[in-house]
Amino acid sequence: MSELLDFATEHYILSTSWVIIVLLLIANLVKYRFSSVKVLSPQEATIATNRNGVFVDVRSEEEYAAGHIQGARHIPLEKIRAGETKPLEKFKDAPIVFVCNHGNQAKTAANIMAKQEYSEASVLQGGMHAWRNASFPVSKKKTTGKKAK
């Protein structure tokens, strides 16, 4: 025990950094655990959207055009932050799965919508990266924003 204290005293910057990292990890786990937003695998997301739900792609126009989930509505994160969410009003009580490249922007969008009482806002875990790795279909066509049947 005294060796640990000696190390911590001699390397206080390293020790402090380690403690901060551990605290941040714990805070992130607690935040994730108590979040009202669900994180869904590609398979779970497909099942959810098949229950009259919708995928919402929050990436940039260029990223969306490079490949997106067929039938996904394109509403960039900036528009969601600005409150331009009228196209989603009919999905207030239906599953909405937010999609980005890896899931970070989608989490932000889903949290915004959950605060506006969208009861089934969720995130595609791993984003388009996970979708492609699961060998799910990707469309490069520009959609009209209507859900594919």
- Known catalytic residues are 100
**Alpha helices, DSSP H only, in the chain?**
2-10, 12-33, 42-49, 61-66, 77-81, 104-115, 127-133
For 73, residues 6+ apart whose C-beta sits below 8 A from its C-beta are 54, 55, 56, 57, 87, 88, 143, 145, 147
Q: 87, 75 in Cβ contact below 8 A?
A: yes
